[in-house]
Amino acid sequence: MALFLLDSNLLLGMIIEYNEVHQHIKEWCIVEKIIEIKNLSYQVKDTKILHNINLNIEEGEDVTFVGPSGSGKSTLMRIIASMISASSGEVLFKGQKIENIDPIEYRQKISYAFQQPTLFGKTIKDNLAFPFEVRKQEFDRQKVTGYLEMVNLNETYIDKSVNDVSGGEKQRIALLRNLIFPPEVLITDEVTTGLDTENKAIVHRMLKDFNEQGLTILKVTHDETEINDAAIKITIRDGEIANV
Partner 1 sequence: MSNLTVSNSTLMLGFVLVIVALVIGYIEKLHIDKDIIIGVIRAVIQLSVVGYVLKFIIKANDNWLTLAFFLIIVMNASWNAGKRGNGIPKAFQSSLLAIFVGTTVTLTTLVLTGSIKFVPEQIVPVTGMIASNIMVAIGLSYRNMKQTFTDRHQQVLEKLALGADIKLASLDILRDSIKSGMQPTIDSIKTLGLVSLPGMMSGLIFAGVDPVKAIKYQIMVTFMLLASTSIGSIISCYLAYKQFFNERKQLNNDLIS
75 vs 63: CA distance, rounded Å: 16
Q: How far apart are CA 170 and CA 124, in angstroms?
A: 9
Minimum CB separation of residue 237 from partner 1 in Å reads 25
Q: Residues 189, 113: contact at Cβ < 8 Å?
A: yes
Nearer to partner 1, 68 or 121 (CB): 121
Least Å distance, CB 134 to partner 1, is 5
Q: Is the dihedral of CA 116, 117, 118, 124 positive or negative?
A: negative
Compare residues 168 and 241 and give the one whose CB is closer to partner 1.
Answer: 168
CB of 74 to partner 1, least distance (A): 12
Complex with partner 1: residue 65 or 241, whichever CB lies closer: 65
Query: Shortest gap between Cβ of 39 and partner 1 (angstroms)?
Result: 19
Q: How far apart are CA 135 and CA 133, in angstroms?
A: 5
Minimum CB distance to partner 1 smaller for 105 or for 138: 105
- Applying CB under 8 A, the residues found at the interface with partner 1 are 81-85, 99, 103-105, 107-108, 111-114, 117-118, 120, 130-131, 133-135, 174, 177-178
Strands (E), 45-94: 47-58, 62-66, 88-93
- Residue of 222, 203, 223, 221 whose CA lies nearest to 211: 203
- Minimum CB separation from partner 1 for residue 104, in Å? 5
Residue 177 or 200: the one with the smaller Cβ distance to partner 1 is 177
CB 90 within 8 A of CB 39: yes
